[in-house]
């Protein structure tokens, strides 16, 4: 195991209890004088590299990147004025990650990670897989905890009688991922 020194800012950590529930706990690392984060590099950097003291910054960066999730967004087909959009957390090698993740999700009018839409779907913007942790703005911006497979499926439902389009934006670990256009044609 290697120890990486890092500046840790105050935050919240999500942990799973023995019953499989996701609990919110305060992160206490920021209270230490010189916080360190232990990152297990097992199977990410060859043991020979560690023994030979030849771990390069590129190898370390690749190992850490493999531990940080990214989001693959897939937009489904329209059915009965609704579209299911899947957000799957993956590692740097595009393999699906298991576990519970907090996704900050909002619909925007443009594909540049802009502010939430000015015109939300008439009916709903809710998860069918995953759990709402917080509704920031109804039908526009929600925080969702994925299921245990790292997946959230969001239902964008618009029965307003008007064709409209949005983009799903998902923030995980400070990085925003934007899906393809979601168009519900009435």
Same domain, 144 and 168: yes
CA dist., res. 150 & res. 108, Å (int): 23
Same domain, 102 and 176: yes
DSSP-assigned letter for residue 118:
S
Which of 67, 89, 109 marks a domain boundary? Answer: 67
Q: What is the CATH number of the domain that holds 164?
A: 2.60.40.10
Helix spans in 52-148 (H): 57-67
Same domain, 29 and 109: no
For residue 173 the two structure tokens come to 């670990």
pLDDT in tens, the chain (186 residues): 444 444 445 555 666 667 766 666 665 554 555 444 555 555 556 666 666 666 676 777 777 766 678 999 999 999 999 999 999 999 888 899 999 999 999 999 999 878 999 999 999 999 999 999 999 999 999 999 999 999 999 999 999 888 999 999 999 988 899 999 999 987
Same domain, 46 and 60: yes
Same domain, 44 and 103: no
Same domain, 63 and 77: no
Same domain, 62 and 76: no
Same domain, 180 and 100: yes
Q: Residue 20 — left, alpha, or beta (φ > 0 → left; ψ -120 to 50 → alpha)?
A: left
DSSP string of 44-87, one letter each residue: TS-HHHHHTT---HHHHHHHHHHHS-EEEEEE---BTTEEEEEE
CB 67 within 8 A of CB 39: yes
Question: pLDDT tens-digit profile of 164-182?
Answer: 999 999 999 888 999 999 9
Instruction: Name 87's bridge partners.
Output: 73, 152
Residue 158: phi, psi to the nearest 5?
Answer: -135, 105
Same domain, 16 and 88: no
Range of the domain at 113: 70-184
Same domain, 174 and 104: yes
Pairing of strands 12-16, 22-26: antiparallel
Q: How many domains does the chain have?
A: 2
Give the Cα-Cα-Cα angle 168, 170, 173 (nearest 5 degrees).
Answer: 170
Same domain, 104 and 44: no
Which of 42, 67, 92 marks a domain boundary? Answer: 67
Give the Cα-Cα-Cα angle 121, 81, 112 (nearest 5 degrees).
Answer: 45
pLDDT of residue 75: 97
């Amino acid at each position: 195991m290697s120890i990486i020194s890092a500046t840790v800012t105050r935050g919240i950590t999500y942990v799973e209890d023995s019953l499989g529930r996701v609990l919110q706990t305060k992160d206490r690392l920021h209270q230490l004088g010189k916080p360190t984060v232990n990152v297990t590099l097992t199977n990410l950097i060859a043991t020979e590299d560690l023994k030979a003291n030849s771990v390069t910054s590129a190898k370390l960066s690749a190992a850490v990147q493999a531990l940080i999730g990214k989001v693959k967004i897939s937009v489904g087909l329209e059915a009965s004025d609704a579209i299911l959009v899947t957000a799957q957390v993956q590692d740097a090698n595009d393999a699906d990650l298991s576990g519970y993740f907090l996704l900050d999700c909002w619909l925007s009018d443009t594909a540049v990670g802009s502010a939430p839409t000015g015109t939300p779907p008439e009916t709903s913007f809710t998860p069918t897989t995953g759990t709402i942790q917080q509704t920031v703005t109804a039908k526009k911006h929600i925080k969702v905890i994925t299921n245990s497979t790292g997946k959230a499926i969001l239902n964008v439902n618009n029965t307003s009688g008007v064709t409209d389009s949005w983009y799903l934006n998902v923030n995980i670990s400070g990085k925003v991922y934007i899906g393809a256009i979601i168009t519900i044609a009435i």
